[in-house]
Amino acid sequence: MSNASAHADVIARNRTRRRWRRLVLLVLGAVWAGMAYWHTHKSLPPGLHVASPWRLVPAANVAFIADITAADAYGRPVMSHAIFDDVLAIIGSAQRFLVLDYFLFNDARGAASDAPARALSSQLRDALIERRKTIPDLRVLFITDPINDVYGGNPSQDLEMMRAAGIDVVVTDLDRLRDSNALYSSLWRLTLGWWNRGGIGEGWLPHPFDEDSRQVPFGAWARLLNLKANHRKVIIGDDGRGQLVGVVASANPHDASSAHSNVAAKIHGASLAPLLASEFEVARFSGWQGVIALDPQAEALPDDSTQVLTGQFVRTQVITEGAIRQAIVERVDAAVRGDNVDIAMFYIADRQVVGSLLEASRRGVHVRLILDPNKDAFGREKNGLPNRPVASELVAASDGQIHVRWYRTHGEQFHAKLVAVYGTDRVWMTLGSANLTRRNIGDYNLEANVAIEAARGSPLGTQVLEYFETLWSNRAALGIEYTADYAVYADPSQGNYWLCRLMESTGLSTF
């Protein structure tokens, strides 16, 4: 063969190889893109995106609970907390069953912080175990997120103790949920997800949440980066008299979170049944095969919104996942000139909510937000995302008609999740686990809220509005300031604004 022929043959083979490489890369890219699309748009598992019918409830059956942490003039913590006292009371009165679903349930303290800590995880664990000992027939279902055993990389002793006590512990199967971090999660599903459950192999990487804990395997970190969660904070049980009782909250039984400011609703009655059914579905698609027999519930009162104005009744609705966004946007969009929107929130970034607030402001609706400055994370400094750039957008784009104040945190977090929309006669509110971000209210995370409608002058309506006004106007003892002016943490930086927008839109965010 001549040199020319050999050279031509080499060129031809190289061309063939390049074609095959391109074809292989195109196929892999198509598979990756197809995987990303499917797992961001696939049908949700049963029991999610719940928007139950409205139920009329006696006003005495619904209570608002607020955990507030502040500091006095000397920097000493001033705390008023009751949410987990009510949770423990529900456990102590249950006779037939308890269902709990909590995102963070561990004693990790993270980096050193000046914020005081309460041993919530062990208190809750011990209360459940003790109640089971006292009433052996009590059925207890405890649903939680795999973050608490670091995705299999550091098994939770608390969960093992509860299993040993006969409690049904279910770790949520997050793979059944949609992927918020599609660029990463699709690659993870193609490579690691189908074989590595997180706990395989020796630990050699640092613990992601507690520097004093043991090291974890690579698979645990790989699973963590999917950035998805069962973020609910719910307890429902029987009240010892044949009725349901529950607390839907923004608070976790997590020692490092025990000083956070939070809000919750305690509700008695059959209006909790849709949320209970949703929790059973979450447990089932995560592998639980148990059965909890419930006493027949009394029929809920027929819905009649006019009864709310008497002050003797309120209306309640269970809303979860993307139904929370839908409910908030619909209420804000329906607000008219002279109405009010008050928001107390740990994170806000969702574009539909931001757009709805701006449009409401242009119609003459009074909009106020109390936000966490996003500077404290279990003793570590944060970068102010997303609240500071989003707050700057809201204030600037509304020409100052939207008002923002920052909660003064001192190592802890302003972890509340409350939205109130009200006019002259009614207050609509929603509270629970959901931040106002794409992950939380875009049908990605598992979230649970309740919506409540009450007369503005009713005890419940008055309590909620006074809670917000107390924080907004610093109605406190001398030396205590709950909130600071907007200018204290304002961040007009375009770099941070567009970074926040990029992280929120792609799912490459932890908020």
Position 321 scores a pLDDT of 98
Whether 138 and 94 have beta carbons less than 8 Å apart is answered as: yes
Q: Which two tokens stand for residue 148?
A: 């608490």
CA-closest candidate to residue 230, choices 456, 447, 475, 488: 447
Query: Under a CB-based contact definition with an 8 Å cutoff, are residues 142 and 91 in contact?
Result: no
How many whole angstroms separate alpha carbon 406 and alpha carbon 196? Answer: 42
Burial class (CB in 10 A: 0-12, 13-18, 19+), 372: buried
Strands 376-377 and 139-144, sheet pairing: unpaired
| Residue closest to 452 by CA, chosen among 440, 439, 463, 438 | 463
In three-state secondary structure terms, 138 is: coil
CATH class of 60-285: alpha beta
Distances in Å between the Cα of 300 and the Cα atoms of 39, 237, 324 are 37, 17, 22
Select the CATH number that applies to the domain covering 305-506 from these four: 3.40.50.11270, 3.40.50.970, 3.30.70.20, 3.30.870.10. Answer: 3.30.870.10
Residue 332: closest CA among 281, 299, 379, 368: 368
Number of residues that this document lists for the chain: 511
Question: 128 and 87 in contact (C-beta within 8 Å)?
Answer: no
Please give the Cα distance from 149 to 151 (Å, whole number): 5
* HEC-encoded secondary structure of 29-95: HHHHHHHHHHHHHCCCCCCCCCECCCEEEEHHHEEEEEEEEEECCCCCEEEECCHHHHHHHHHHHCC
> Over the stretch 428-459, which tens digit does the pLDDT of each residue have?
999 999 999 999 999 999 999 999 999 999 99
**Burial (CB count within 10 angstroms: exposed 0-12, middle 13-18, buried 19+), residue 356:** buried
Which residue is associated with the tokens 């928007």?
51
Whether 312 and 58 have beta carbons less than 8 Å apart is answered as yes
Q: Read off the pLDDT of residues 158-215 as tens digits, 9 standing for 90 and up.
A: 999 999 999 999 999 999 999 999 999 998 998 887 766 656 667 788 878 777 677 8
Provide the residue-wise pLDDT of the chain in tens; the chain has 511 residues. 566 676 666 676 767 777 888 888 888 888 889 988 999 999 999 999 999 999 999 999 999 999 999 999 888 999 999 999 999 999 999 999 999 999 999 998 765 456 678 999 999 999 999 999 999 999 999 999 999 999 988 899 999 999 999 999 999 999 999 999 999 999 899 888 776 665 666 778 887 877 767 788 888 888 999 999 999 999 999 999 989 999 999 999 999 999 999 999 999 999 999 999 999 999 999 999 999 988 766 666 777 788 888 889 999 999 999 999 999 999 999 999 999 999 999 999 999 999 999 999 999 999 999 999 999 876 566 889 999 999 999 999 999 999 999 999 999 999 999 999 999 999 999 999 999 999 999 999 999 999 999 999 999 999 999 999 999 999 988 789 999 999 999 999 999 999 999 999 998 888 8
CATH 3.30.870.10 positions along the chain are 60-285, 305-506
Sign of CA dihedral 330, 335, 339, 341: positive
Q: Shortest CA distance to 161 belongs to which of 106, 214, 200? A: 106
With contact defined as beta carbons under 8 Å apart, do 277 and 232 qualify? no
Rounded distance, CA 346 to CA 415, Å? Answer: 5
Using left for φ > 0, alpha for ψ between -120 and 50, and beta otherwise, residue 400 falls in: left
Task: Give this prediction's pTM.
Answer: 0.94
Query: How far apart, in whole angstroms, are the C-alpha atoms of residue 478 and residue 487?
Result: 23
Lay out the sheet containing 402-407: strands in order across. 55-58, 313-320, 448-455, 426-432, 417-422, 340-345, 366-371, 402-407, 483-484
Residue with tokens 């961001």: 40
Instruction: State in Å, rounded, how far the first CA of the chain is from the last one.
Output: 66
Q: Which amino acid is at 290?
A: G
Tell me how many helices (H) and strands (E) the chain has.
13, 19
pLDDT at 298: 63
Closest to 61 (Cα-Cα) out of 316, 297, 240, 248: 316
- The dihedrals phi and psi of 142, each to the nearest 5 degrees, come to -115, 110
For the chain, give the percent of residues with pLDDT over 70: 93
Position 92, amino acid? G
Question: What pLDDT was estimated at residue 108?
Answer: 82
The pair of structure tokens assigned to 503 is 């992280």
The angle that helices 387-397 and 351-362 make with each other, rounded to 10 degrees, is: 30
